[in-house]
Structure 1
Amino acid sequence: MTAKPWTPGEGGEADKRHAPATARNRDAIAAVLADWLPAQGTVLEVASGSGEHVVHFAAAFPGLLWQPSDPDPAALTSIAAWSAEGGLANIALPLPLDAAAPDWPLAAADAVLCINMVHISEWAATVGLFTQSAKLLQKGAPLILYGPYFRKDHPTAPSNSAFDDSLRARNAEWGVRWLEDVTELAEARGFVLAEVREMPANNLMLLYRRK
């Protein structure tokens, strides 16, 4: 079955969805994950979207168990479809997980990965991400974010400004976040910003570690 192009929140009939950005960024993200992820254990991916990333990463890191999740039923269907096609034993069934929820359906993880959620969600989702991840992760364990961010004392790319405008036009509570605001929240929830990596297309990868 051919997957149709899709962005989170869209409806449609197809089981498998295709987010075009995944094919463009997955190898660059995987190269950084190779430096930041543990050698073994469970990686919880929050807001897995179409499910294309988790299949790619599960193939690249066979020593890790990958736990995809998403709050959108259409996304959960797509994740399951891509996972079934991939046929990899180290991908768990996708969990219905809302980052903003007070309880998550998982007791522990060795790493948490969240790609392109922080700007396409209400701030409460980012608060929940750090609050609940602090309960799941042991000291030193990584919480890894990928996406566009504004930074003080750094020039803002015109493409990120335009993207922020388009996000806020769709939903006033969405938008490109300031790295400093996210880090302040992270520190309040028991994390420290360990590293920032520049990524293609004016994106960043952020490595937070549990204190």
Structure 2
Amino acid sequence: MLVVVSSPSGGGKSTLLSRLLKSVDNLYYSVSYTTRPPRPGERHGEHYYFVSPDDFERMREHGEFLESALVHGHFYGTHRKFVETRLEQGHDLILDIDVQGAESVANIMPEATRIFIMPPSYEVLRQRLCARGSDHPQTIARRLRNATQEVRRFREFHYVIVNDDLERALHSLICIITAERERWRLSEKWLEAIVDTFDAESLPLEGETPKL
């Protein structure tokens, strides 16, 4: 199962996904590549793979990205091989990408479950971005301008979670993952094997008593 989670910058998806991965077993996180510099506390290979613009462009030219986009002045991309390998191995995988990336993934893998994390208001989002203390005012202004366009695209997603309360939003996210896992299990071959046990030979003829 492939799950795509998107939100405006500051929408809280990173915090939610960190809590989600600690709460749900057998759910893997796809670490994106980016050309932006790391923020305080971010580690290479855990939060992002931080690469130079030249390296990113070289990877893109070689077709290594499932999706890539220019977001807030920096490039972001999802590694194609990692995603394909995890899915082929039968693992559930979650992507933390922007709305542009979500659209690209939807075009390539329409079966992916798409979830949008909506901030409760513009003012709350502004406060969250300012509270980070790591972004220049011009960067914050640009992220807010982009958010104005991003929130209008919520209809492109299967689910929308308003992140006005972290615990409630986390509970909703866990419920969605649990329900989607059950939906995906319906396509598994073992269900077909169960159905095959209900063949005509096992059914009693009219008037006969079923064998116990």
Larger Rg: 2
Q: TM-score, normalised by structure 2?
A: 0.38
Q: TM-score, normalised by structure 1?
A: 0.38
Q: Which has the higher strand share?
A: 1
Higher relative contact order at CA 8 Å, sep ≥6: structure 1 or structure 2? Answer: 2
